[in-house]
Amino acid sequence: MSQKKVTLFQEFLKGIWKENPILVSLLGLCPTLAVTVSAENGLAMGLAATFVVVSSSVIVSILRKIISPQVRIASFIVIIATFVTIADRFLAAYYPDISTNLGPFIPLIIVNCMILGRQEAFASKNNIGRSFLDAFGVGIGFTVVLVLLGGVREILGSGTLFGVEVMWNNFHPWAVMILPPGAFLALGLMIGVSNWLNELGEKK
Amino acid sequence: MEEKSKTASEKPKKKDPREKLLKPNGKPLILKSSPHLLSNYSVEKIMRGVIFALLPTTILGVVFFGWRALLMILVGIISCVLTEVIFDLISGKKFKLTDGTSVLTGLLLVLTLPPSFPISGVILGSVVAIFIGKMIFGGLGYNIFNPALLGRAFLQASYPVKMTTWTLPKFVGADAVTGATPLGLFKFEHVLTNIKPLILGNVGGSIGETSAIAIILGGIFILIKKYADWRIPLSYIGTVFILGGIFWLIDPVQYPNPIFHVFAGGLMLGAFFMATDMVTSPITNKGSWIFGIGAGVVLITIRLFGGLPEGVMYSIIFMNGLVPLINRYTQPKVFGEVKK
């Protein structure tokens, strides 16, 4: 059992950089590309996904000895769907604007492979504490990337950040950045930069 | 231990009998794998030739649209070259500026922009063209899409209004400052421009696309010098002519005549200088025909049935994306190969 050697803190940290769901595993790209037209949307999406992944990881970890292997995926989906519904209704009740902005992508968290992947690869094999920390780290990593991506696209595409003007007066926003091609360009460049930083780190 | 190895390394300093064989005239003999025949072409030479062929177009563009056009061209070239230098510095590569590809990219990019385009936009387009269009893929020879067209596509998506605000040439009339291009006039107002101003270039449009005669002059030069494959412009323009002609015969009122199709818009510039880019066009002869015909079909589709008046850029970029596939399926047979 090599996993026992990993400290709890490392379990939390690995989701943020070393096994970042977007930059390294390339999981959950559908919401990543679709909703990050602004930093606010990215933050809301990231927090909703974090809530879902943490809660469902804990539940799956508690039930891991009861769920029979044949029906595990279906069981995970039911558990995830429960929390997604909670998140969806919560946003609709308290932040209706964000809820309309994110549209169908909140219900689509159910099939986000980042979350299902955590259940299958980690929560169903580890105890509650580790599952919680792992899911929390992954969720934070997901949120950070979404906010960064949304921020970059919002600054370049509309000249604002969290709705506040940040660019100089006669800056012409690059409309392409809030369109789908901008999402692919920005995400590709972000992954490139993260790989480049990793390489620099290895050389040292 | 160390002393022993030292003496061991000093020993072979005695004259090696093989030395004479390896250095026949005192100079080291260079052993190289094939090919041993050197072609008369080099990247530098071709790039210089293509830039030279673009001179008439550039000069006419400056004559028609004023000194601002020249400023835009200079800004475009300088920012393209600077982007490449900075990228090379960061990635620790050796400079390859002498090949002049960045200069050509900058020139081509600006030639496809409207004359009133903001200078900051020119810089943005150049940086995108070189950085995202070329360097990220690994530099010259590895890019999938024509860098200049990629830069233009980025600008088109970023500034849709500014990219379609056209200034008319000085000679058209003092009262008209901005106006539509011939293709735009036809698409949205159904006004057909005469052929003569289209050939001379005395119409609204991008800096380098208006004068067909200047582009044809440069185009013939690069075709004769074999800096470009003649099959691509021929099949591209030919397809547009034939397809445009068919639609014109079906309904002469609704669709423009094929001669207008050929001379209006950026087809000439695109066919001679963009589609023939050696990196992003097919390597086989059959592939070149497919490339040109495909681009022509896409262009006519966009012009006649799409929302945009002009589609040269998208047609070439679209076919650029198919080039690896075309190359794969048009590989000539090896001599003696038996059909299965």
The partner residue sitting opposite A176, judged by closest CB among B120, B136, B157, is B157
Tell me if B305 is assigned to some domain. Answer: yes
Q: What is d(CA B103, CA B140) in angstroms, rounded to the nearest whole number?
A: 13
Tokens of B297: 């079909």
pLDDT tens digits, chain B, 340 residues: what are they? 444 444 444 555 556 666 666 666 666 666 677 766 667 777 888 888 898 899 888 888 888 888 888 999 999 999 999 998 888 888 777 766 666 888 999 999 999 888 888 888 899 999 999 999 888 888 788 888 999 999 999 998 888 878 777 777 766 554 446 667 777 777 777 777 777 777 777 777 788 887 888 888 899 998 988 888 889 999 999 999 999 899 989 888 888 888 888 888 788 888 999 898 888 888 888 999 999 999 999 999 988 888 787 888 999 999 999 999 999 888 887 777 776 6
Q: If we measure between CA atoms, which residue out of B272, B247, B269 comes closest to residue B257?
A: B247
The partner residue sitting opposite A181, judged by closest CB among B121, B124, B157, is B157
Tell me if B311 is assigned to some domain. Answer: yes
- For testing contact with chain B, the best of A156, A167, A171, A172 (most B CBs within 10 A): A172
- Of the pLDDT bands very low, low, confident and very high (cuts 50, 70, 90), residue A2 is very low
3-state class (DSSP) for residue B309: coil
Contact B124 A174 (CB under 8 A): yes
- For testing contact with chain A, the best of B135, B144, B158, B317 (most A CBs within 10 A): B158
pLDDT value at position B142? 86
Contact A172 B157 (CB under 8 A): no
Residues on chain A touching B160 (C-beta within 8 angstroms): 175
Residues on chain B touching A177 (C-beta within 8 angstroms): 158
Mean pLDDT, rounded, of chain A: 86
Tell me if B22 is assigned to some domain. Answer: no
Answer yes or no: are the C-beta atoms of B323 and B280 closer than 8 Å: yes
Q: If we measure between CA atoms, which residue out of A202, A193, A147, A153 comes closest to residue B131?
A: A193
Query: Among A85-94, A134-143, B154-163, B170-179, which is the least confidently predicted range?
Result: B170-179
The partner residue sitting opposite A175, judged by closest CB among B124, B136, B158, is B158
Contact B120 A172 (CB under 8 A): yes
Query: Among A99-113, A122-136, B22-36, which is the least confidently predicted range?
Result: B22-36
Q: What is d(CA B191, CA A28) in angstroms, rounded to the nearest whole number?
A: 50
Q: What is d(CA B98, CA B230) in angstroms, rounded to the nearest whole number?
A: 26
Q: Residue A111: pLDDT above 90? A: no
Q: What is d(CA B268, CA B56) in angstroms, rounded to the nearest whole number?
A: 14
The tokens 């012409």 sit on which residue?
A172
Interface predicted TM-score (ipTM): 0.79
Q: What is d(CA B154, CA A174) in angstroms, rounded to the nearest whole number?
A: 9
The alpha-carbon gap from B97 to the nearest alpha carbon of chain A, in Å, equals 24
Query: B305 to each of A124, B257, B311, how far by Cα in Å?
Result: 55, 15, 11
Q: What's the half-sphere exposure (Cβ side, CA atoms, 13 Å) at B108?
A: 32
Q: What is d(CA A141, CA A13) in angstroms, rounded to the nearest whole number?
A: 9
The alpha-carbon gap from A181 to the nearest alpha carbon of chain B, in Å, equals 9
Longest dimension (CA), chain A: 62
pLDDT value at position A87? 92
Residues on chain B touching A158 (C-beta within 8 angstroms): none
Is the CB of residue B157 less than 8 Å away from at least one CB of chain A? yes
Size of interface A-B (CB pairs under 8 A): 23
- What average pLDDT does range A102-107 have in this prediction? 86
Tell me if B34 is assigned to some domain. Answer: no
Tell me if B282 is assigned to some domain. Answer: yes
Q: What is d(CA B320, CA B151) in angstroms, rounded to the nearest whole number?
A: 14
Q: Which residue of A has its CA nearest to B121?
A: A172
Tell me if B180 is assigned to some domain. Answer: yes
Q: Which residue of A has its CA nearest to B132?
A: A185
**Non-local CB neighbours of B124 within 8 Å, separated by 6+ positions:** A174, B154, B155, B158
Q: Which residue of A has its CA nearest to B118?
A: A172
Tell me if B339 is assigned to some domain. Answer: no
CA-angle at A28, arms to A25 and A31, nearest 5°: 145
Helix boundaries (H) for chain B? 2-10, 19-22, 43-65, 67-91, 101-111, 119-131, 147-158, 182-184, 195-200, 212-224, 231-250, 258-263, 267-269, 285-305, 312-329
Give the total number of structural domains in chain B.
1
DSSP state of B167: B
Contact A179 B157 (CB under 8 A): yes
Helix boundaries (H) for B92-100? none
Domain containing residue B151: CATH number: 1.10.3430
3-state class (DSSP) for residue A181: helix
pLDDT value at position B319? 93
Q: If we measure between CA atoms, which residue out of B164, B92, B158, B98 comes closest to residue B128?
A: B158
Q: What are the tens digits of pLDDT across the range A18-66?
A: 888 888 888 888 888 888 888 888 999 999 999 999 999 999 999 988 9
Tell me if B171 is assigned to some domain. Answer: yes
Q: Which residue of A has its CA nearest to B154?
A: A176
Query: B70 to each of B62, B92, B256, how far by Cα in Å?
Result: 6, 33, 33
- Domain range for B158 is 43-327
Query: B143 to each of A125, B147, B253, how far by Cα in Å?
Result: 45, 8, 42
The residue type at B259:
I
